């Protein structure tokens, strides 16, 4: 007989392979999560600084990284924690405030006597209430208190075709500034291949254990018969 017969790895040997493999998988998943968290923090920092071009670029970088790696995240909703795959939801508050502030500023700069509303120029009325409050409290144009005040004042008047309804339609929805990028459960990355290898090993070990258990039960029954 030419050559020696290849020996099959024993179950305990497979376990010795599986343990460090699982440790390596956990390490890689942790590193991917840290990288995602870093990118997300950079996105939020750019949102605060107002660097729009850099923000869009970093958002795309975060989206691309998340879509190509396995990102396991723990998110909270209504006080309950759950495991999810991806960045989890995050909100670009400053970008929204800048967009809403620009809409208000545009209205204030172009406001004229508005005969389409029985209350007259409701923009000027809203500004006359909110601007003194802004000066008193030191609110900037993109301060959420000032924006909320302006919108609340407009809401007191019936919307007409060319008045508050038009303005409120120009205010972007907050949902446009809420992001959540999902990651695959199994990605074609190093961690993904190692997870697949680990699952195969676990299945093999489980099947061997099941076969061993069945044989032990069969032998016991034979001895007792």
- The CA-based angle 192-193-198, given to 5 degrees, is 95
Global model pTM greater than 0.85: no
Asked if residue 110 and residue 53 are part of one domain, the reply reads no
Asked if residue 50 and residue 25 are part of one domain, the reply reads yes
> Which of 200, 210, 201 shows the shortest CA–CA distance to 16?
201
Give residue-wise pLDDT tens across range 115-152.
455 556 677 777 778 878 877 787 776 678 877 887 78
Asked if residue 83 and residue 101 are part of one domain, the reply reads no
Residue 66 burial by Cβ neighbours in a 10 Å radius (0-12, 13-18, 19+) = buried
Give residue-wise pLDDT tens across range 34-89.
999 999 999 999 999 988 999 999 999 999 999 999 999 887 776 677 888 999 88
Q: Is residue 197 part of a domain?
A: yes
Q: Is residue 48 part of a domain?
A: yes
Q: Is residue 100 part of a domain?
A: yes
Structural domain harbouring 73: 11-89+180-206
Asked if residue 185 and residue 169 are part of one domain, the reply reads no
Total count of domains within the chain: 2
Cite the DSSP H helix spans in 156-189.
164-170
d(CA 86, CA 70): 8
The beta strand positions in 110-184, using DSSP E, are: 178-179
- The CA-based angle 39-42-43, given to 5 degrees, is 90
Asked if residue 103 and residue 81 are part of one domain, the reply reads no
Asked if residue 154 and residue 44 are part of one domain, the reply reads no
């Amino acid at each position: 007989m030419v050559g020696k017969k290849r020996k099959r790895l024993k179950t305990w040997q497979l376990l010795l392979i599986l343990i460090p493999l699982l440790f390596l998988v956990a390490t890689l998943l942790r590193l991917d999560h840290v990288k995602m968290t870093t990118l997300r923090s950079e996105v939020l920092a750019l949102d605060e600084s107002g660097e729009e071009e850099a923000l869009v670029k970093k958002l795309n970088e975060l989206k691309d990284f998340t879509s190509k790696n396995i990102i396991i995240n723990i998110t909270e909703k209504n006080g309950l924690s759950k495991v999810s795959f991806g960045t989890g939801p995050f909100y670009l508050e400053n970008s929204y405030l800048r967009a809403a502030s620009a809409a208000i500023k545009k209205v204030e700069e172009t406001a004229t006597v508005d005969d389409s509303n029985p209350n007259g120029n409701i923009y000027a009325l809203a500004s006359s209430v909110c601007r003194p409050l802004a000066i008193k409290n030191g609110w900037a144009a993109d301060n959420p208190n000032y924006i909320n005040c302006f919108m609340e004042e407009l809401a007191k008047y019936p919307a007409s075709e060319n008045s508050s309804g038009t303005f409120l339609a120009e205010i972007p929805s907050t949902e446009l500034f809420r992001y959540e990028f999902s990651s695959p459960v199994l990605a074609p990355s190093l961690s993904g291949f190692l997870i697949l290898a680990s699952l195969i090993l676990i299945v093999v070990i489980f099947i061997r254990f099941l076969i061993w258990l069945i044989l032990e039960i069969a032998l016991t029954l034979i001895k007792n018969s």
